[in-house]
């Protein structure tokens, strides 16, 4: 597997460039496929980039109009001094969708990208959307009586949030080791080097501000209001620190029309670690929602493999 941005020769049927937002920030986007097919919009996680969706761009554009962006402060997008809140990133997403005229689409949010999807729903509703895929994202960080799925101690949340955020203000090559820890099996050196290079493109102030933002936001109430079909995909990254991962079951129980699929052979990046299965599961979900397959998905189904 080679993860690299496409050249003109191998992406001749696609498009890429920067979209200028209302505040002047340039957001990098990449798109492939036909607009006559269902649209997929991929949103990456904290300190990552659209490069993480490379295996989806290799396979899915033959069936879908596939779009991915670099969030502000990440990848090839501009890195202004402000705007690093989930609310602003949801606004950025909205502006990108308007400028590219993306409608009736399936939004795929991974990790922090999933939280941006939750904030988008809160601010802009479901009007432009046909379905959601939430990959290894949690609506709330802290474990409490009302939200047992949290993975951090609620009582020490202020100290923990501060420590997480301020850690990135101390220059250290060790920070890039975060990328390797996301996987159950270490990727090939060439791939890992590219992903770490993308991490290093994110300024420390962006890492700190978004870490603090993620610690402060609670989207549990948004989960209960979702009316769209939702595919919940969970990797096994969390089992490195705890025996169970109740987040998926909690969201599955709260979202009326949802399907939960577990990737037991993947860490935090099932789309890279098990790309063929990921693409199949996502395509099956889309086709079921679109009514293009006679096989019906059981919305109460949990799949582990």
Tokens at residue 152, please? 């951090």
Q: Is residue 80 part of a domain?
A: yes
Q: Give the separation between CA 249 and CA 151, rounded to whole angstroms.
A: 14
Domains contained in the chain, number: 1
Residue whose token pair is 């595919």? 231
Tokens at residue 110, please? 């991974």
The whole-number pLDDT of residue 279 equals 98
What percent of the chain stands above pLDDT 70? 89
State the CATH number of the domain containing residue 214. 3.40.50.1820
Q: Is residue 54 part of a domain?
A: yes
Q: Is residue 8 part of a domain?
A: no
The whole-number pLDDT of residue 237 equals 80
pTM value?
Answer: 0.89
**Cβ atoms within 10 Å, residue 144:** 15
Check: CB of residue 134 under 8 Å from CB of residue 233. Answer: yes
pLDDT category of residue 97 using cuts at 50, 70 and 90: very high
Q: Is residue 7 part of a domain?
A: no
Tokens at residue 132, please? 């959601």
Q: Is residue 212 part of a domain?
A: yes
70 contact partners, CB below 8 Å, separation of at least 6: 27, 28, 29, 44, 49, 50, 76, 77
The whole-number pLDDT of residue 165 equals 78
Q: Report the DSSP beta bridge partners of residue 19.
A: 27
The whole-number pLDDT of residue 305 equals 47
Look at residue 216 and tell me whether its pLDDT is greater than 70. Answer: yes
Check: CB of residue 177 under 8 Å from CB of residue 13. Answer: no
Q: Mean of the pLDDT values across residues 107-125?
A: 98
Q: Is residue 183 part of a domain?
A: yes
- Which residue range(s) make up the domain with 274? 14-304
Q: Is residue 141 part of a domain?
A: yes
Q: Is residue 6 part of a domain?
A: no
45 contact partners, CB below 8 Å, separation of at least 6: 52, 110, 111, 112, 113, 268
* 16, 22, 23, 24 alpha-carbon torsion, rounded to 10°: 40
């Amino acid at each position: 597997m080679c993860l690299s941005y496409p050249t003109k020769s191998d992406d001749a049927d696609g498009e890429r460039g920067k979209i200028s937002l209302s505040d002047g920030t340039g957001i990098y986007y990449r798109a492939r496929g036909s607009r006559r097919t269902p649209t997929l919009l991929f949103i990456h996680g904290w300190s990552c980039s659209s490069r993480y969706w490379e295996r989806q761009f290799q396979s899915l554009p033959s069936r879908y109009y596939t779009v991915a962006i670099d969030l502000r402060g990440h990848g090839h997008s501009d890195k202004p001094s402000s705007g690093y809140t989930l609310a602003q990133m949801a606004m950025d997403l909205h502006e990108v969708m308007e400028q590219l005229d993306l409608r009736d689409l399936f939004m795929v949010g991974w990790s922090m990208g999933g939280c941006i999807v939750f904030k988008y729903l809160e601010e802009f509703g479901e009007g432009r959307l046909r379905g959601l895929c939430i990959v290894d994202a949690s609506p709330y960080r802290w474990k409490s009586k009302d939200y047992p799925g949290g993975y951090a101690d609620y009582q020490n949340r202020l100290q923990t949030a501060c420590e997480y955020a301020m850690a990135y203000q101390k220059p250290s090559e060790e920070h890039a080791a975060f990328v390797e820890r996301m996987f159950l099996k270490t990727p090939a050196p060439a791939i890992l080097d590219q992903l770490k290079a993308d991490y290093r493109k994110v300024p420390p102030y962006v890492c700190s501000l978004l870490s603090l933002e993620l610690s402060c936001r609670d989207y549990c109430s948004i989960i209960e209001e979702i009316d769209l079909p939702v595919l919940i995909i969970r990797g096994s990254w969390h089992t490195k620190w705890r025996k169970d991962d109740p987040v998926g079951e909690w969201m599955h129980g709260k979202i009326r029309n949802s399907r939960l699929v577990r990737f037991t052979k993947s860490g935090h990046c099932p789309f890279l670690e098990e790309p063929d299965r990921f693409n199949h599961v996502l395509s099956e979900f889309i086709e079921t929602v679109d009514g293009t397959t006679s096989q019906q998905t059981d919305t109460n189904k949990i799949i582990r493999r």
